Amino acid sequence: MQYAKQTQEALDRLDQSLARLRNMIKRGDNVNALQFMEEGDLKEKFEELQNMITISSTGNMGARGVQNTGTF
């Protein structure tokens, strides 16, 4: 369950960053919005979540947290 909690927290942080990006775009602050996506907080939050998913898939566990059963 710890993985699910950590993943949800990472998704929440990504969602908050997306809301900030939306506000920048809505204000017409496109230069800062691009920087936010390419180098800033949004990129960091996305990479954090992506790393969590990558690390979880390198183990011997399947998508539902059970050991891979191979071909049926």
Encode pLDDT of 10-59 as tens digits. Answer: 999 999 999 999 999 999 999 999 999 999 999 999 999 888 888 877 66
**Residue position matching structure tokens 């710890």:** 2
Predicted local confidence at residue 19, as pLDDT = 96
The overall longest dimension of the chain from CA atoms, in Å, is 53
Predicted local confidence at residue 3, as pLDDT = 82
**Residue position matching structure tokens 């059963």:** 69
Q: What is the pTM of this model?
A: 0.71
Let me know: does 6 contact 52? Beta carbons within 8 Å: yes
Predicted local confidence at residue 56, as pLDDT = 77
pLDDT at residue 8 tops 60: yes
Predicted local confidence at residue 66, as pLDDT = 52
40, HSE (Cβ side, Cα atoms, 13 Å): 14
